[in-house]
Structure 1
């Protein structure tokens, strides 16, 4: 039901994306969506540390959601993914290159630190397995949004 997160699979979908592709919902451009996926990887690596934005007693329920087959809701608004965030790159292909670089950093970091947990604002401290589950849902959510899955 959810996309696998190996780089070959993810790139097979990202390579279907065009700069002018319109989303089925939301206001992100295709390039902004790719940069947003990269931003999420930077949260996972701890490069962009987050504060927990939900009460601690809700974390267990949020993490449990990662283990379900329920998709992420459409049109979610989160403070760390503003739609008016300026683009970092001049073109989509450069945004995809950045995604690949940060994806590899993410994989390497957790391979070298298997006990590492980093904070997601709505899921709390996540280990590699939990980040992978989140990425599966998140990639599927945005790839569905742009019709590339």
Structure 2
């Protein structure tokens, strides 16, 4: 399965990010391209242990069931639920800064390997293995790059 510990999967995302422009148009949703990048970046920072969103009550009840859906081989569905902590569509961000940050974060996550992945639970899914984080974050960037035609 595609993930952020696989060299070719990481290169695929990085190449797609290079083709993203400030003028890229969304195919669905409400975020602008700069907001999408900031959203993905703050989410990857969670997997890297750089921020710590609180567990959601609903996640404690349904998290394990929902987790299976998000970690399967299918692409994420359009307009999936978004944790409040990651909502960025009320702010404007600098496109080039966020794209550069995405490239740096993805590269660092890959280079750090599983040993440096967070042990903090996901706000909805609870405890994830490093591999599950790597799959989830690859799927997240893939989902939003597809949202912008890549």
TM-score by length of 2: 0.80
Whole-Å Cα distance in 2 between the matches of residues 3 and 23 of structure 1? 23
State the partner residue of 1:28.
31
CA RMSD of superposed structures (Å)? 2.3
SS in 1 for 2:127: strand
- Please identify which structure carries the higher helix content: 2
Question: Shift of residue 145 of structure 1?
Answer: 0.7
SS in 2 for 1:107: helix
Does residue 77 of structure 2 align to residue 73 of structure 1? Answer: yes
Relative contact order (alpha carbons < 8 A, sep ≥ 6): 1 or 2 greater? Answer: 2
The 1:65–1:80 alpha-carbon spacing in structure 2 relative to 1, beyond 3 Å, is: same
User: For the Cα contact (< 8 Å) 1:3–1:139, is it kept in 2?
Assistant: no
**Correspondences of 1:104-143 after superposition (within 5 Å):** 104-113=107-116, 116-143=118-145
Show structure 1 runs of 5+ residues with no match: none
Whole-Å Cα distance in 1 between the matches of residues 33 and 59 of structure 2? 33
Does residue 52 of structure 2 align to residue 46 of structure 1? Answer: no
The 1:84–1:73 alpha-carbon spacing in structure 2 relative to 1, beyond 3 Å, is: same
SS in 2 for 1:7: helix
Whole-Å Cα distance in 2 between the matches of residues 106 and 32 of structure 1? 21
Whole-Å Cα distance in 2 between the matches of residues 55 and 112 of structure 1? 25
- Please identify which structure carries the higher strand content: 1
State the partner residue of 2:10.
7
Show structure 2 runs of 5+ residues with no match: none
